[in-house]
Chain A
Amino acid sequence: MIIAVASGKGGTGKTTVASSLALVAAEKGEVLFLDCDVEEPNGHIMLKPRWHKKETVRVPVPEINREKCTLCGRCAEVCAFHALVVLPREVMLFPTMCHGCGGCWHLCPAGAISPGWREIGQVEEGSSGKIGFVHGRLNVGEAISPPLIQAVKERIRPGILNIIDAPPGTSCPVIRAVRGADFCLLVTEPTPFGLHDLKLAYEMAARLGVPCGVAVNRSDGNDNLIRQFCHNNNVPLLFRLPRDREVAGGYARGIPAVEVRPGWKKHFLDLLAYLEKGGYARCAN
């Protein structure tokens, strides 16, 4: 089973929830944690895996053979992403803008372009006790993350619980991370900010046809805003974690919430039981 943890926005406690869920689930069986927030991976700070494998992820980019190039300008014309500029004496490539679509090498009339490779980041694999761990690290200055997210997701192991820590937002990287999940847990805060981001995250999951449920983090007891939203959209509100300075301090030092507050394990056990029952399928739209 694949569970994605998303929030529409960073800082709502997504990693707190995802890492705690992994720790609690590992007490019962095999778990794989996949940190797909490749721009800012920080699941490893909570779960402290020992690394055993590292692999470079590459994407295709054009390689231009200056001898064959006639400077006709066709490549720059077909490149929808403006990654190529044909100057009077040479063709210039802006690699971070290239999407590797292959248009230029398929369509260069002089056969001057061939596909080459460019490194965009690494996938690292390790384990933390019974939790298998995978994450991607995007190189600094790199703008395109979906291929790296894809590389992380290729490590998904069928037959066990896979927990995906999704990146923030609702655009292509999140879509890539959440697509294909069996369930999406939406983590939010009981504030107008939280509600605003929750709406976007919910719309995103609904668009992908992934059933979802909501977890409130940093609750002060008055969660009416979120409750109302869940009620109106027929999304289950699965659990609420209270606001807790100790937990915030633990997070700052890299200590998972369920270690600071073992009492919170109950919420995650309930969630696992709920997922096992599979009743959520009805809530999908």
Chain B
Amino acid sequence: MRELVVLSGKGGTGKTTVCGSLAVLASNKVMADCDVDAANLHLLLDPVLKFSSPFYGLKKATINREKCLGCNLCLHLCRYDAIGPGFVVDPVLCEGCAVCCHACPCGAVEMIEHVAGYLFLSDTRYGSLVHARLGIAEDNSGKLVAAVRKEARRLAEEEKKELVITDGPPGIGCPAISCLSGADLVLVVTEPTFSGRHDLERVLELAKHFGCQAAVCINKWDLEPENTRVLESLCNQYSVPVVGYLPYDESVMGAVKSGRPVIQECSGPMAEGMLALWDKLKALLELR
């Protein structure tokens, strides 16, 4: 089994658009949406929910006023200013480090189980989809990403699928890092904008750091062909192949509006670009 992870270094470069189309083009696969902060892939794939399970984050502190002697030690030790007046813990600020709990001389701090999000398993017309939803203001997106990937891999094995396509989170932080480890191929979707180069460089650096094979797809390449060439030479420097060129196409917005993968709504250069991209990816992943 192989895993293709799609990243972008930042949001809005067309990562989910590409993933939606890959979901249509690839047979014999499981889809995973690891953008747990703001999952969008399901909006394109029309999923039917089969199963959901709560995801537990780190336990959070609560202080039992009856046992508390008011020594102020916890207040003093908490680096996140999570303990407010009257020894009330602000759950948004508490990171669950449990230092207060270990340190309290009278055992007044309890660490309480806490649901940080949900993991979903759905059926779509393109195969199974594993996705998740992290609660507002929750930490631990890296852990939830890991849980989504693990579930997708398990499912792929169970269903005897040869590929997992993972729609990664934006950025290069904790969740993106959590998505990279052990991936067979990282497809970076980028745009020929001024910031695109900088963002691309950071993801390629990250992929290198984790020893992942990478490939690049340039979305809206014809918006600013000169910048596209800059991106190409950057890829050259990193010895990373450019495997896709997608045009600026106003009909993409229409496809997104109707909630359908681009490959089913658009024709012409857009569709050709997607097909060519998938062919190259297949070759890199050594799939039939």
Contact = CB atoms under 8 A, between A and B. Distances in A.
Contacts of A200: 37-38, 136
Nearest to B42: A196
A196 B38 contact: yes
B272 interface: no
Given A9-B40, A45-B195, A249-B224, A192 B170 contact: no
B98 A11 contact: no
Given A192-B43, A196-B43, A249-B224, A11 B177 contact: no
A116 B105 CA distance: 26
Q: Which range holds the interface residue count of chain A?
A: 35 or more
A172 B98 contact: no
B206 A143 contact: no
Contact of B99 (A101, A168, A204, A243): A101
Interface string A38-53: 0110100100000000
A161 B137 CA distance: 26
B95 A99 contact: yes
A141 interface: yes
A172 B137 contact: yes
A144 interface: yes
A254 interface: yes
Interface stretch (B9-17, B48-56, B63-71, B275-283): B9-17
**In this complex, which of A80, A167, A197 has the most chain B Cβ atoms within 10 angstroms of its Cβ?**
A80
A168 B79 contact: no
Given A10-B170, A168-B170, A172-B137, A220 B253 contact: yes
B37 A40 contact: no
A172 B223 CA distance: 34
**In this complex, which of A169, A172, A207, A218 has the most chain B Cβ atoms within 10 angstroms of its Cβ?**
A169
B198 interface: yes
B223 A248 contact: yes
Interface of B: 9-13, 16, 37-38, 40, 43, 58, 77, 79-80, 92, 95-99, 102-103, 134, 136-139, 141-142, 170-174, 177, 191-196, 198-199, 202, 205-206, 209, 220, 223-224, 227, 248, 250, 253, 256-257, 259
Given A80-B96, A171-B134, 6 more contacts: A42-B194, A103-B97, A106-B103, A171-B139, A243-B253, A249-B224
B245 to A, nearest CB: 15
Nearest to B170: A10
A283 interface: no
Nearest to B197: A45
A141 B12 contact: no
A78 B10 contact: no
B77 A40 contact: no
Contacts of B248: 245, 248
A253 B38 contact: no
A142 B172 CA distance: 8
A8 B102 CA distance: 36
Interface in A175-209: 175, 190-193, 196-197, 200, 203-204, 207
A127 B196 CA distance: 23
B206 A141 contact: yes
A218 B256 CA distance: 13
Nearest to A12: B12
Contact of A9 (B11, B174, B192): B11
Nearest to B203: A140
Given A99-B97, A141-B206, A170 B136 contact: yes
Given A9-B12, A172-B137, A251-B193, A100 B173 contact: no
12 contacts: A40-B171, A99-B97, A103-B99, A106-B77, A142-B173, A144-B174, A191-B256, A192-B257, A193-B16, A193-B43, A204-B136, A252-B193
Contacts of A144: 173-174
B259 A252 contact: no
Contact of A173 (B96, B173, B209, B220): B173
Given A11-B11, A168-B37, A192 B224 contact: no
A272 B201 CA distance: 36
Nearest to B37: A169
